[in-house]
Structure 1
């Protein structure tokens, strides 16, 4: 579904990613792990067309994404739920959700809205409430729900557990597993390695702008080097 080869990317003259190879197959959860500053968000921003890569290839279902407008990439079905939620705080919950269907999914907006509130009943209880008054967990639900309104073929989730309480983190990873069980392909960027590897099919570990380790998530979880150097186990 997604194939990235020799991707080099960054900002201005600063190169953050230095030759990334990565792929996501249909129906998978693929995790990208790494600490702050290693390039996870840079990778997302280039897949989503917010920035143009310095070099390399990003192909979605065989079509090159590098150089395309971000709105065109959304229309193709690549949907990015950004780090920090990025909701519109002075708009209602319902308005935030409906904004998710502007570029893609407009014809089925009502059905998609019903699907989202079926997954997140709390959002329906707060339809008319300003999004900025929601709790952190509810705002994360809203950000994901807005992404689902676009009918994603590939859902990119950037640090969905960031800033949540331990209980809500458990709920969030349960939700990711639930979405995948329903057929959703997911590219998951996270610092929470243990819980991410527990639900992912495959994973990549990025260090210094390059892929340091990759493989089946279960194998990586049991890799002595990763457990010692990255998981601290």
Structure 2
């Protein structure tokens, strides 16, 4: 469904990504793992049209995405929940959710709104609350709910467990499984290697702007090199 072919990208004279190749199939959960600063968010932003690559291309169902503006990429069925949540803190929970349907699925906004409230009952209790006053975990739920309002076929989650308590991290990964069970493909971009490989089907490990390892999640979890580098085992 998503094909990333030989992507090179960066900022000014600084190259961050050096020949990235990835694929995501319909309904898959694919993890993109790596330490801070290796280029995970840069790759997300290339896919979503915020950064234009210097070489290579991104294709969605065979259509070339490279060069399209972000609003058109959202309309095609790709939504990103960015690192740091990026909610609108001065708007209500309900208003944040409604903005998720601005470019796609607007005709089904009411149905999707009710669906998100069923997935996130805590949000349904706080619809009139100013979003900036929510807890960190609730803000992450709101950011994911806003992304889901556009009925994405691919949901990109950038560090969804960042800053959450261990209990909320468990809840967040269970939620990812629930979203995927509804047929939504997920690109899970994380530093939390163990949890990510538990929920994902396949994974890529990014190091210094290149894919260092890839394969079925269970195989990577058992790989001695990965266990030593990322799990200290």
Equivalence for 1:53: 53
Q: Deviations over 1:42-63 (max 9, x none)?
A: 0001100011011101001101
CA–CA distance in structure 2, aligned partners of residues 20 and 76 of structure 1: 22
1:176 matched to which residue of 2? 176
Q: Distance in 2 between matches of 1:57 and 1:204?
A: 18
For 2:79 and 2:127, the matched residues in 1 are separated by: 23
- 1:4 aligned counterpart, secondary structure: strand
Q: Deviations over 1:141-179 (max 9, x none)?
A: 000000000110100000000000000000000000111
Task: Specify the alignment match of 1:80 in structure 2.
Answer: 80
Report the secondary structure of 2:10's partner residue.
Answer: strand
Please list, as runs of the form range in 1=range in 2, the aligned pairs for 1:1-233 lying within 5 A after superposition: 1-233=1-233
Report SS of the residue matched to 2:80.
Answer: strand
TM score, norm. by length of structure 1: 0.99
Q: How many residues align?
A: 233
Q: Supply the distance in 2 between the matched residues of 1:110 and 1:161 (Cα, whole angstroms).
A: 28
* Distance in 1 (alpha carbons) for counterparts of 2:178 and 2:76: 23
- Report SS of the residue matched to 1:167: helix
Instruction: Using the TM superposition, give the Cα deviation of residue 91 of structure 1 relative to its aligned residue in structure 2, in angstroms.
Output: 0.3
Q: Deviations over 1:111-146 (max 9, x none)?
A: 000000000011111000000000000000000000
2:209 and 2:232 map into 1 onto residues whose CA distance is: 21
Instruction: Give the superposition deviation at 1:230.
Output: 2.0
CA RMSD between the two structures? 0.5
Segments of structure 2 that go 5 or more residues without pairing to the other structure are none
Gaps in structure 1 of 5+ consecutive residues = none
Give how far 1:232 is off. 1.2
After superposing the two structures, state which structure 1 stretch, 5-14 or 167-176, moved more.
5-14
Q: SS where residue 49 of structure 1 aligns?
A: coil
SS class of match (1:27): coil
The separation in 2 between residues aligned to 1:46 and 1:226, in whole angstroms, is 26
Q: Deviations over 1:20-61 (max 9, x none)?
A: 000000110000000110000000011000110111010011
Question: Distance in 1 between the 2:95 and 2:71 partners?
Answer: 19
